[in-house]
């Protein structure tokens, strides 16, 4: 008996926001690195950057705004309804 394999792909746009407070001006690259490396995923949590390569910044996770427009795609040999 043949097995059928399907892929159900779902996409939506979720927006995650962090607020970074720095005592010095940062480059775009530094902002991205700090947000990626020190940003928490717990809403309302603040992280402190303690790294010799960056100023001592505060990184506050504002939260996630969940997308309301989900797109789906189904791949595979489906049966006719």
Instruction: Look at residue 66 and tell me if it is in a domain.
Output: yes
Instruction: Look at residue 3 and tell me if it is in a domain.
Output: no
Tens-digit pLDDT string for the chain (81 aa): 887 788 887 888 888 999 999 998 999 989 999 988 988 889 999 999 999 999 999 999 999 988 877 787 888 888 887
Instruction: Look at residue 61 and tell me if it is in a domain.
Output: yes
Instruction: Look at residue 29 and tell me if it is in a domain.
Output: yes
Range of the domain at 67: 15-75
Identify whether the C-beta of residue 67 lies closer than 8 Å to the C-beta of residue 12.
yes
b/e burial code for range 40-58 (CB count within 10 A of at least 16 → b): eeeeeeebebeeeebeebe
Instruction: Look at residue 5 and tell me if it is in a domain.
Output: no
Identify whether the C-beta of residue 10 lies closer than 8 Å to the C-beta of residue 72.
yes
pTM: 0.70
Number of domains within the chain = 1
């Amino acid at each position: 008996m043949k097995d059928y394999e399907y892929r159900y792909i779902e996409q939506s746009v979720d927006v995650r926001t962090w607020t970074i407070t720095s005592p010095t001006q940062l480059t775009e690259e530094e902002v991205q690195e700090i947000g990626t490396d020190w940003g928490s995923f717990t809403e309302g949590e603040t992280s402190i950057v303690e790294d010799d390569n960056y100023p001592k910044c505060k990184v506050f996770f504002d939260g996630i705004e969940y997308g309301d427009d989900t797109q789906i795609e189904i791949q595979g040999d489906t049966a006719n309804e």
